[in-house]
Amino acid sequence: MARADKDGYTLGIMTAGQIIAATTKKTLRYDALADFDPVSLVATASLLIVARPDFPFSSVNELVAAAKAEPGKIVFASSGFGATQHFSADFMQIAGIKMVHVPFRNSPEAISSVLGRQVDMLFDTVSALIGPIW
- Map out the domains of the chain with their CATH numbers: 1-44 (no CATH), 47-133 (3.40.190.10)
Secondary element (H or E) of residue 51: strand 47-51
Return averaged pLDDT per consecutive 10 residues of the chain, 134 residues in all: 84 76 76 83 85 90 89 87 69 78 90 94 87 71
- CA distance linking residue 7 with residue 37, whole number of Å: 12
d(CA 102, CA 81): 8
**The predicted structure's pLDDT at residue 82:** 66
**Model pLDDT, residue 37:** 84
Give the per-residue pLDDT at 114. 94
- pLDDT at res. 133: 67
Predicted structure pTM score: 0.72
Smallest Cα–Cα separation from 73: which of 85, 81, 65?
Answer: 65
